[in-house]
Amino acid sequence: MPELPEVETIRRRLAPLVQGRVLRAIEVLDPRWCEPLHPEALSGALVERRLEALDRRGKYLVWEARDEVFLLMHLRMTGTVLYDAPPLTPYVRVRMTLDDGHRLSLCDPRRFGTGELALDRSALDAFLRARLGVEPLGPGFTSDHLLTMTRGRRLPIKAFLLDQRRIAGVGNIYANEALFRARIHPLRETGKLKRNQVAALRDAVVGALSAGIDAGGASIDDFRHPDGVKGAFQNEFLVHGRDGRPCLVCGATVVKLVVAGRGTYACERCQTRPRRARRAGGGGGPRQRA
């Protein structure tokens, strides 16, 4: 569930607390977290190194330790990183101790999160390049670039937005919010969007992600800030999770569909359903994976 704004919220809150600190210990309580790497190999590469930076790419938290040793942490469904977690905090999979005595705990009830190492910057770049497309809050995410990426693509635009190899960091919530902001139906064929729609979508993706970051992310279930506080963006959703309730723009009832296997929310008055999908009936269109 943590998407770009949630990971970025964790990064911004943790960075000033960890940058410049030396990692004294890293205990992997659940070895599955860093498979196929052995926990001792992981801790051997990181312990006693100074943390130079805490960065983010897409939904990855990138811990840079001295001499270009990188820990790539992906939080997947339910991961969160707590700073000085209270005793007996459940679901701790990894614990890191800093030289100032403070501790970081990776809590992950569903245990889908992962930890991987990259042992120099070119290995890091290759790792990220193989998995992630353009960074939506970076300078490369222009409407011209998005237009080029969308040409010839026949999948529904919702599925396109969820593909991390195209745009990194957008997940289900922010894809729903961005399509509503851009007034584009989630089932619309990606390659058929007009230039002005693509420009609106680019701005809507940036707008939805930025609003999420400004609100400290969304806490629907497990997401917490490093100090245990919940994000507030769930109170600001324009369309996500609002099925059966009136559209905030026009008052029509928000509907729930399934697109790319994910719960998808739309106002079909503001976001006109494409003709072919209309003929196919009310359901939700093709259940294809992004």
Catalytic residue numbers read 2-3, 59, 262
> In this structure, are residues 218 and 243 in contact, taking their beta carbons and an 8 Å threshold?
no
Report the residue from 88, 101, 250, 279 that binds Zn ion according to the rule CB under 5 A: 250
Which one of 10-18, 117-125, 158-166, 244-252 is the stretch in contact with Zn ion (CB under 5 A)? 244-252
Contact flag: residue 244 with Zn ion (CB under 5 A)? no
Contact flag: residue 255 with Zn ion (CB under 5 A)? no
Report the residue from 124, 238, 247, 290 that binds Zn ion according to the rule CB under 5 A: 247
Q: How far is the CB of 156 from Zn ion (least distance, A)?
A: 19
What Cα–Cα distance (Å) separates residue 103 from each residue in 22, 37, 203, 219, 229?
12, 23, 39, 23, 17
The dihedrals phi and psi of 266, each to the nearest 5 degrees, come to: -155, 155
What is residue 98's DSSP assignment? E
Q: Which two tokens stand for residue 212?
A: 């999420």
Report the residue from 54, 104, 238, 267 that binds Zn ion according to the rule CB under 5 A: 267
Tell me how far apart the alpha carbons of residues 284 and 127 are, in angstroms, rounded to a whole number: 35
The Cα angle at residue 164 between residues 95 and 188, in degrees rounded to 5: 140
Strand order in the sheet with 23-28: 23-28, 92-98, 103-107, 80-83
Q: How far is the CB of 277 from Zn ion (least distance, A)?
A: 17
Report the residue from 168, 270, 277, 290 that binds Zn ion according to the rule CB under 5 A: 270
Q: How far is the CB of 212 from Zn ion (least distance, A)?
A: 21
Q: Which two tokens stand for residue 260?
A: 């790319």
> In this structure, are residues 201 and 153 in contact, taking their beta carbons and an 8 Å threshold?
no
Contact flag: residue 238 with Zn ion (CB under 5 A)? no
Which is nearest to 154 in space by CA: 118, 203, 106, 188?
Answer: 188
Q: How far is the CB of 247 from Zn ion (least distance, A)?
A: 3
Contact flag: residue 167 with Zn ion (CB under 5 A)? no
Report the residue from 76, 111, 145, 269 that binds Zn ion according to the rule CB under 5 A: 269
Q: How far is the CB of 206 from Zn ion (least distance, A)?
A: 21
Count the residues of the shown chain that bind Zn ion, applying the rule CB under 5 A. Answer: 7
Q: Minimal CB distance to Zn ion: which residue? A: 247
* Chain residues in the site for Zn ion (CB under 5 A): 247, 249-250, 252, 267, 269-270
